[in-house]
Amino acid sequence: MARADKVSAVDEIANRFRDSSASVVTEYRGLSVAKLTQLRWDLGEAAKFRVAKNTLVKRAAADAGVQGLDDLLAGPTAIAFVDGEPVDAAKAIKKFARENPGLKIKGGYMDGRALSTSEIEQLADLESREVLLAQLAGAMKANLSKAASLFNQPASQVARMAQALADKQADGGEPAPAESAPADGDSAES
């Protein structure tokens, strides 16, 4: 018979899977409670880091409709349930894992599919959403400036040509007539 605390733990984990934008599965072999607390601080409000039993996580994942994590659930497992930007949480976990070799990224889950370790690391290597939006805005502004310059160019060329013509007429000179070329049928030696 299932104990009430296990049932509530499965329900809590299943709800976290449903409500999170992503999750990162890690192994924390050899890390102290103080180190795990430091990781929780590093993650801040972006993610909730929870140590859980693999059997409970498997049941919760099945209840939440999350598939593909069974292979990741071996050994001491902790999951970061990402509430905010997945990139920010992935960066924090990757940085912590680099400084603390006891933490290993096993994989994750995002947008309805399981992610490998390399995909989580690629996610961590992306710029944050704000930086990407700023880069996009800068690129768009540059293109708009180019377009405005192109639209102004013909008008400024006409204005410069009109001013040169006016200056020449003011000096008393008339523009030289264009020399006409002989027509196709005419020849200069007739």
**pLDDT at residue 190 in the model:** 44
**pLDDT at residue 1 in the model:** 40
Range of weakest confidence among 16-20, 67-71, 170-174? 170-174
**What is the average pLDDT value for the chain, to the nearest integer?**
82
Q: How confident is the model at residue 151 (pLDDT cuts 50, 70, 90)?
A: confident
Answer yes or no: is pLDDT of 178 > 60.
Answer: no
Q: In percent, how much of the chain has pLDDT > 70?
A: 87
Residue 188 falls inside a structural domain: no
CB contact at 8 A, 110 and 21: yes
30 and 102 belong to one structural domain? yes
139 and 65 belong to one structural domain? no
Q: In percent, how much of the chain has pLDDT > 90?
A: 14
**pLDDT at residue 12 in the model:** 92
12 and 95 belong to one structural domain? yes
66 and 156 belong to one structural domain? no
Structure tokens at 98: 């680099």
Query: What's the whole-model pTM score?
Result: 0.64
Residue 99 falls inside a structural domain: yes
64 and 120 belong to one structural domain? yes
- The boundaries of the domain holding residue 145 are 129-170
8 and 54 belong to one structural domain? yes
98 and 30 belong to one structural domain? yes
Residue 157 falls inside a structural domain: yes
Answer yes or no: is pLDDT of 141 > 90.
Answer: no
For residue 21, which phi and psi values (nearest 5 degrees)? -80, -25
* Residue found by looking up tokens 């001491």 in the block: 76
Residue 177 falls inside a structural domain: no
Structurally, the chain folds into a number of domains equal to 2
Higher pLDDT, 34 or 46: 34
Residue 187 falls inside a structural domain: no
